Amino acid sequence: MNLRVEFYGIPRSRAGVSDVVLTFETPETTFGEVVSEIANQFPQFAFSCVLGDRLLPSFSANINGDRFVNDPAMVVHHGDTILLLSSDAGG
Amino acid sequence: MPDRDTSTLHAYHGTCLRVDLTAGAATALPLPERRLRQFLGGSGLGTLLLLQENAAAADALSPEASLAFAFSPLVGSPLTTSAKFAVVCKSPLTERINDSLASSGFAIAGKKTGHDVIVLTGKAAVPSIVVIDEGHVHLEPAGDLWGLECSATQQRLQERYPGGFEFAVIGPAGENQVLYATISHDGRHAGRGGSGAVLGAKNVKAVVVRGSREIRWAHPEPLIAYARQLSKKSFGPATAKYRELGTATNLLVFNRLKALPTRNFQQGSFAGAEAIAPESLAETRSRTRAYCAACTIGCEHLYSLDNGKDRVRLEYENLFALGSLCDIRDPEVVLLASKRCDELGLDTISTGGTLAFAMECAERGFLNAPWLRFGNGESLLRAIELIAARQDLGDVLALGSRRLAEHIGHDSIRWAPQVKGLEMPGYEPRALQTMALGLAVGARGADHNRSGAYEVDFSAFVDRRQISEHTARLAAQSEDKAAIMDSLILCKFLRGVFEDFYEDAAEMLHLVSGWDVASTELQQIAARIVTAKKLFNIQAGWSPEEDTLPARMLSEPLPDDPHAQLGPAEFKDAVSAYNLWRNWTEEGWICAELRAQLDLDAFPAAGGP
């Protein structure tokens, strides 16, 4: 399965890219596994934004522009797009 | 609690300086410790003073109107981001309570004059500078400054008053009483609601402060240790966004979520977002950072203009209001428009909101201004100058979108982007529905600083496109937290560093004042401050119909996101639930028992059941 990850704000500056496509051998995976995979690919992102298979509280994730997620066990599917962003929206 | 001698107070001076501009006289009035503890400072204390002045009854631009510069118990302490002050007055734009905050040296110098609040009332006979040098107050003529823009005024004052003075000034927009004119200090603005017009109506071009009265802290050594820890936390991930990128980095996120108000809230996404986003600007323009006094975050990011010489402080709200909302895709125009608003002393959100509304009305043929069109940068820049000068069409644009809608007719109030007359910030309510409630019930109108309910929408707690059973509670809790932050005063960009905000706030207050304040007392203080603001509004003529959103947002889904829709009945239910959560009546009135419980019974609540 393929899914797309888009980076915004600090996650983008740490990853150094605006987006990436991830490929998994299984038909579905979990949000925690996605976070771990991104952390493997982007060490600076991992250092600043990740603790284990979770994002630090200062960062958030959204699936397909619809719902925000923070549960590592949340199942994600082929074709999903995950947005990674800074939690604070104020300004 | 019994009042004690103010000379024994910590963190406060225990006095309010009341300056009567008509008489040219000043009086220092005692502030009882009981009231300081109940309202803290800043926004809360300023609201109390306005209630005591009976300011709700006065026309906002009349000599009888009062305007308070309110300092706070943390100002002057080593706590990061604490150098802030509140300007509290009746808004000429909304005719409701208005409290706007700004940062830096004016807060420190103002408190060193030996007062916790400076209230201005009356009207100077000629354009004047109010000079407050420690305990000495006098007016000086400002005829030579009248007409100058904000930074030029500041520069002239620095030359005239060397040696530790700080300045709050108005630009031409304030002089001309544009209803959303700002008060500027060192390039930052107490921006919303038109406090600059109130000063302008009083013939006050600038307030100049200096003092040497140091504050005593209750527990100085633990305070320093706490402040060190707080500063250390302020370098962590919770503030990285503000330090490294600034608030403008919201733009692409909001655009992706279709929550970026575009073309006067007709869309939630903007085709020009990439072009004006800070990520793009940083590739082609030099960028520098700036700090407020006593701040370790440094959230201000200044971008160069094409001339390579001038720099512009850029925030998300400028980008949204002068960019997507007016469909401006040229980053140079957005930067120039921001700079002109800063120099003229105009609130960027109300400027952009009023102009976007006018553009839609012109497009529909309801406003005879063929030159004013979405996407036309030249017309945006021209209109900004006309507004500040109140020339031609600018004279009615200077009144804000609600009054402009009354002028235009054609039921255009349905799409005027305002609540209580205050233009809406950059949060599309249909896409962020906890925030939608926060915008509707806010005492000063559509507001993203007194309600941070968008944080809930950006979390897994709720479906951001659904009003839920939790919406009322979450919106109220967000307001309560903001009420404490705006009264202590601390920068909201610190909020992410606190694991338990109320515990930390209580600890800070204890260290500076010596009061043993529990979290629960702080929560009651928050409820008191929010209710006091509502009380002011009731005295000023508030009615339940004001707590809503523009009709278009309650009747049409967002065109580019059909799932983003608000229903009028469910929204009204949410407003009622919010009122009940606050222990107000279902409609939002305040009963006598609650006023007594919050020690607000000295202030009558006319109207209601």
What one-character-per-residue DSSP string does B414-449 give?
GG--EETTEEP-S--TTT-HHHHHHHHH-TTSS-SS
Query: Which of residues 54 through 73 in chain A touch B, CB cutoff 8 A?
Result: 56-60, 62, 65-71
Q: Do A58 and B245 touch (CB under 8 A)?
A: no
Residue B576 sits at the chain A interface (C-beta within 8 Å): no
Q: What is the 3-state secondary structure (H, E, C) of B193-259?
A: CCHHHHHHHCCEEEEEEECCCCCCCCCHHHHHHHHHHHHHHCCCHHHHHHHHHCHHHHHHHHHHCCC
Q: Cα-Cα-Cα-Cα dihedral of B387, B389, B395, B400, to 10°?
A: 40
Q: Are B464 and B384 in a shared domain?
A: no
Residues whose CB is less than 8 angstroms from the CB of residue B9 and which lie 6 or more positions away in sequence, other chains included: B33, B36, B216, B513
The answer to whether the CB of B75 falls within 8 A of the CB of B181 is no
Q: Distance, in angstroms, between A74 CA and closest chain B CA?
A: 12
Residue A84 sits at the chain B interface (C-beta within 8 Å): no
Average pLDDT over residues B249-262: 96
Q: Cα-Cα-Cα-Cα dihedral of B302, B304, B305, B310, to 10°?
A: 80
Residue ending a domain, among B389, B423, B457, is: B423
Q: Are B411 and B478 in a shared domain?
A: no
The answer to whether the CB of B73 falls within 8 A of the CB of B509 is yes
Task: Give A6's contacts in chain B (Cβ within 8 Å).
Answer: 256
Q: Of B331, B340, B454, whose CA–CA distance to B387 is shortest?
A: B340
Cα separation, B572 vs B550, whole angstroms? 13
Average pLDDT over residues B557-567: 96
Q: Do B455 and A90 touch (CB under 8 A)?
A: yes
Cα separation, B297 vs B310, whole angstroms? 23
Q: What is the pLDDT of residues B89-122, one digit of tens each?
A: 999 999 999 999 999 999 999 999 999 999 999 9
Cα separation, B600 vs B549, whole angstroms? 29
Beta partners for residue B312, in sequence order: B303
Q: How confident is the model at residue B426 (pLDDT cuts 50, 70, 90)?
A: very high
Q: What is the pLDDT of residues A20-51, one digit of tens each?
A: 999 999 999 999 999 999 999 999 999 999 99
Q: Are B393 and B438 in a shared domain?
A: no
B552 belongs to a structural domain: yes
Cα separation, B548 vs B571, whole angstroms? 8
Residue B317 sits at the chain A interface (C-beta within 8 Å): yes
Domain map (residue ranges) of chain A: 2-86
Q: What is the pLDDT of residues A2-15, one digit of tens each?
A: 999 999 999 999 99
Q: Are B266 and B293 in a shared domain?
A: yes
Residue B241: which of A9, A62, A71 has the nearest Cβ? A9
Q: What's B267's DSSP letter?
A: B
Q: Do A88 and B241 touch (CB under 8 A)?
A: yes
Task: Give A83's contacts in chain B (Cβ within 8 Å).
Answer: 253, 256-257
B500 belongs to a structural domain: yes
Cα separation, B155 vs B150, whole angstroms? 9
Task: Give B463's contacts in chain A (Cβ within 8 Å).
Answer: 67
Give the pLDDT of residue B263.
98
B172 belongs to a structural domain: no
Give the pLDDT of residue B468.
83
Tokens of B132: 């407050």
Q: Are B496 and B593 in a shared domain?
A: yes
Q: Cα-Cα-Cα-Cα dihedral of B276, B280, B286, B288, to 10°?
A: 80
Give the pLDDT of residue B535.
97
Residue of chain A whose alpha carbon sits nearest to that of B252: A8
Q: Do A8 and B244 touch (CB under 8 A)?
A: no
Q: Are B527 and B570 in a shared domain?
A: yes
B482 belongs to a structural domain: yes
Q: How confident is the model at residue B347 (pLDDT cuts 50, 70, 90)?
A: very high
Q: Distance, in angstroms, between B496 CA and closest chain A CA?
A: 7
In which element (H, E) is residue B573 found? Answer: helix B568-581
Angle (CA) B238-B239-B242 rounded to 5° is: 145
**For residue B389, what is the domain's CATH number?**
1.10.569.10
pLDDT of B191 strictly over 70: yes
Cα separation, A22 vs A33, whole angstroms? 11
Q: Distance, in angstroms, between B237 CA and closest chain A CA?
A: 6
Cα separation, B583 vs B261, whole angstroms? 33
The helices-and-strands tally (H runs, E runs) of chain B is 24, 17
Residue ending a domain, among B423, B457, B476, is: B423
pLDDT of B565 strictly over 60: yes
Give the pLDDT of residue B448.
93
Average pLDDT over residues B322-349: 98
pLDDT of B1 strictly over 70: no
Q: Looking at the domain covering A2-86, what would its CATH class be?
A: alpha beta
pLDDT of B367 strictly over 60: yes
The answer to whether the CB of B204 falls within 8 A of the CB of B414 is no
Q: Do A88 and B238 touch (CB under 8 A)?
A: yes
Q: Do B460 and A70 touch (CB under 8 A)?
A: yes
Q: How confident is the model at residue A90 (pLDDT cuts 50, 70, 90)?
A: low
Q: What is the pLDDT of residues B133-185, one digit of tens each?
A: 988 999 999 999 999 999 999 999 999 999 999 999 999 999 999 999 999 99
Task: Give A56's contacts in chain B (Cβ within 8 Å).
Answer: 237
Cα separation, B362 vs B364, whole angstroms? 5
Number of domains in chain B: 2
Residue B458 sits at the chain A interface (C-beta within 8 Å): yes
Q: What is the pLDDT of residues B298-313, one digit of tens each?
A: 999 999 999 988 999 9
Q: Are B439 and B304 in a shared domain?
A: no
Q: Are B417 and B493 in a shared domain?
A: no
Q: Do A60 and B459 touch (CB under 8 A)?
A: yes
Query: Which of residues 59 through 118 in chain B touch A, CB cutoff 8 A?
Result: none
Q: Do B279 and A60 touch (CB under 8 A)?
A: no
Residue A35 sits at the chain B interface (C-beta within 8 Å): no
Q: Are B521 and B592 in a shared domain?
A: yes
Give the pLDDT of residue B135.
81
Task: Give B349's contacts in chain A (Cβ within 8 Å).
Answer: none
B555: domain range?
433-597
Give the pLDDT of residue B361.
98
E strands within B36-182?
Answer: 66-70, 84-90, 97-103, 117-121, 128-133, 136-141, 166-169
The answer to whether the CB of B465 falls within 8 A of the CB of B434 is no
**For residue B484, what is the domain's CATH number?**
1.10.599.10
pLDDT of B5 strictly over 70: no
Beta partners for residue B114, in sequence order: none
Interface mutation target, options A56, A68, A69, A70, chain B, most CBs of B under 10 Å: A68
- What is the secondary structure of B291-334 as a DSSP string? --TT-SS--EEEEE-TTSS-EEE--HHHHHHHTGGGT---HHHH
Q: Is the pTM of this model over 0.95?
A: yes
Residue ending a domain, among B401, B423, B445, is: B423
Query: Which of residues 21 through 60 in chain B touch A, CB cutoff 8 A?
Result: none
Q: Of B449, B436, B455, whose CA–CA distance to B265 is shortest?
A: B436
Cα separation, B393 vs B252, whole angstroms? 33
Q: Distance, in angstroms, between B430 CA and closest chain A CA?
A: 13
Q: Do A68 and B245 touch (CB under 8 A)?
A: no
In which element (H, E) is residue B15 found? Answer: strand B15-20
Tokens of B541: 């003529």
Taking all residues of chain B, what is their mean pLDDT, rounded to a whole number? 96
Q: Do A65 and B496 touch (CB under 8 A)?
A: no
Residue B496: which of A13, A87, A91 has the nearest Cβ? A87
